[in-house]
Structure 1
Amino acid sequence: MPLTPSPHVRVADVDNDLILLDLSDDSYFCLSGEEADEVILALRGDEQNPESPVIAELLDAGLLRAVDDLIPAFLERPMPENGMPPRASTLASLTLLPAILAGLIHYQLHRKTLLRRPVRTATRKTLDDAEVIRLVRRFRQLRILMPRSGRCFVQSWLLLRLLRKRGVAAEWIFGVRTYPFEAHCWVEWRGRVLNDWADHVRWYEPIAQF
């Protein structure tokens, strides 16, 4: 029977290492070597070893589940392009300050559930393409005011919130790499990275998209 990650789990194949992201407690797990190979093959639809201890453990832990039909387990995305505009003037950027402060308060109150309750995109579009770029430019100028701890997470979520509340269907992308293990996130819009450089995020294998 085919296997797939449980609804609260995301997976990535990073050069034959398997990374699992458990959204229920925002934790990562890594499998390598033969254990990773077994699980990756099973998730890609190959017949799994019925006596595999690692697969049995993942099933018992609720990280994997059996399904009737194969469900794609790995996130496939085209390579993003550079889209990060230059910073705006400080004076123009200050117009975003109330929204940034409101977002930071929301973040402090709900940061443990942000991945399980992503910001919804407003149904009514209010920004055209040029206005999106202007907003991102102003946001970049204010990043110095934001927390340094977990910087990519906080800044990406704040930018996503600003855009989606204005009807812009931006995407929050999480990626992982190994040796050493590192997780990173960024915001994309129409295949363009808005708050990082494409050459940087290409080092990471996408594991989740919100």
Structure 2
Amino acid sequence: MARADINWCDVGGRIVVIDVARDIYLQLPQHLVEAFNALRHGGARADGPANRFETLARIGLCDADLGRPAEPSHITVPAQDGPSPATGDVERRPLATGAAIVRIIAMRLAVRLIPLRLLIRWVRRLQSRPSMPMKPGRVAARAALFVQARQLVPARDTCLPDSMALLHFLRSRNMSCRLVLGVRLDPFEAHCWVQDHDMILGDTHERVACFTPILQL
């Protein structure tokens, strides 16, 4: 079967792959896109040059026998941002703000020092903890507090560590949420954000809507 640490998505007919173990993104050339689509729809006996299918197996998109190709990512991006917190919900809370800043700084360091596969393993362990249903306003208020804390430690290109920090900040209160990685092309760009079932947290729909989700944790 396909490797468990391989995920892919279709961006306008082009196939983008994230290889978690190697911490890289790949865009399949057109001849491999055609071979992969033939394999998905025609099975192991799909027609085409054998070396193309062998390349797909080496990438990890199918097994050596060309069976059970990797399934695409089925992730829905919420159509709205989180609701605005009620007045007074985002007053200054030194302890909570400090906790958010500590998580932000720690995750920014962790992303520099720790391989992506280990960070993802940590996120999956974090997500294995029980969660409790929360009112949207409460979740939005805590996310808004995190955004305020993030503004105190500004930096560029920190969507991955900051999203991981937000995930941990929310899950520490047993709030349910998911970490999503997305990609876009022309030029290539990857982005990371946190979402609940029906709302985006700590980011905006306007920003994330131009990305195709490739991995959800």
Same structural fold, with TM-score higher than 0.5 when normalized by the shorter chain: yes
Alpha-carbon contact 1:121-1:164 (below 8 Å) kept: no
Structure 1 residues 67 and 91 mapped into 2: Cα distance closer, same or farther (>3 Å)?
A: farther
CA offsets per residue over residues 142-164 of structure 1, 9 Å max, x none? 11234624311111111111111
Alignment of 1:53-92 (within 5 A): 53-65=51-63, 70=68, 73-85=71-83, 91-92=92-93
Of residues 190, 193, 199, the one that matches 1:186 is 193
CA displacement at 1:5 relative to structure 2? 3.5
Distance 1:45 1:93 in 2: 56
CA displacement at 1:115 relative to structure 2? 1.8
Higher strand share: 1
Structure 1 residues 191 and 90 mapped into 2: Cα distance closer, same or farther (>3 Å)?
A: same
CA displacement at 1:46 relative to structure 2? 2.5
CA offsets per residue over residues 103-157 of structure 1, 9 Å max, x none? 5335524642212321235325385433212111111111123462431111111
Instruction: Tell me what 1:17 maps to.
Output: 14
Of residues 15, 35, 42, the one that matches 1:46 is 42
Instruction: Tell me what 1:162 maps to.
Output: 169
TM-score normalised by the chain length of structure 1: 0.82
Aligned residues: 206
Distance 2:94 2:61 in 1: 43
CA offsets per residue over residues 1-21 of structure 1, 9 Å max, x none? xxx631010011111211110
TM-score normalised by the chain length of structure 2: 0.79
| 2:115 paired with 1:115 | no
Identity of aligned residues (%): 23
Structure 1 residues 117 and 201 mapped into 2: Cα distance closer, same or farther (>3 Å)?
A: same
Structure 1 unaligned regions, length at least 5: none
| 2:27 paired with 1:26 | no
Structure 1 residues 165 and 123 mapped into 2: Cα distance closer, same or farther (>3 Å)?
A: same
Alpha-carbon contact 1:85-1:137 (below 8 Å) kept: no
One-letter identity of the residue aligned with 1:122: R
Structure 1 residues 124 and 199 mapped into 2: Cα distance closer, same or farther (>3 Å)?
A: closer
Distance 2:156 2:189 in 1: 15
Of residues 174, 178, 184, the one that matches 1:177 is 184
Instruction: Tell me what 2:209 maps to.
Output: 202
